[in-house]
C-alpha cells in the first residue's frame, strides 16, 4: 500500500500548530498564537511568513491603541491543505 506524501509545509511542529489553531477560530492575533503555541516571537514570525508565502494564511497588519497588531486568518488553500494533511496522517495510522 502506498501512502500520500505529507505536505512539507504542514509537517513542521510550529506551522502545524498554527494552522490547527486557526482552523478552530475565525482569526487570531499574533500574541494569541504566541501564547498558545509557546513559540518564540522570532520563530513564530518566520513560520507565519512561510505560511503566508505559501498562501495558507493571510496576515493583516494594523494598529490598536497605537500598538502594532498582526492578525492571522486561515486561507482557503490552507484549509484544503490541512484537510489533505489530516487525511494523509489518518491513512498512515490505519492498521
Question: In the complex, which residues of this chain contact another protein (CB under 8 A)?
Answer: 6, 11-14, 16-17, 20-29, 31-32, 35-40, 42-43, 45-47, 49-50, 64-65, 85-86, 89-90, 92-93
Of 26 and 77, which has the nearer Cβ to another protein?
26
CB of 88 to another protein, least distance (A): 8
The DSSP H or E segment spanning 37 is helix 30-37
Distance CA 9, CA 16 (A): 8
Q: Which helix (H) or strand (E) holds 16?
A: helix 13-23
**From the CB of 15, what's the least distance to another protein, in Å?**
9
Residue identified by cell 494569541 is 32
Nearer Cβ to another protein, position 11 or 77?
11
| Cell reading at 11 | 509537517
Amino acid at each position: 500500500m502506498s501512502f500520500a506524501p505529507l505536505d512539507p509545509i504542514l509537517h513542521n511542529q510550529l506551522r502545524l500548530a498554527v494552522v490547527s489553531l486557526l482552523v478552530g477560530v475565525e482569526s487570531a492575533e499574533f500574541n494569541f498564537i504566541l501564547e498558545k503555541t509557546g513559540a518564540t516571537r522570532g520563530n513564530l514570525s518566520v513560520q507565519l511568513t512561510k505560511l503566508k508565502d505559501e498562501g495558507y494564511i493571510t496576515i493583516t497588519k494594523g494598529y490598536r491603541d497605537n500598538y502594532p497588531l498582526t492578525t492571522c486568518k486561515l486561507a482557503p488553500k490552507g484549509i484544503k491543505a490541512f484537510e489533505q494533511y489530516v487525511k494523509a496522517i489518518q491513512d498512515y495510522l490505519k492498521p
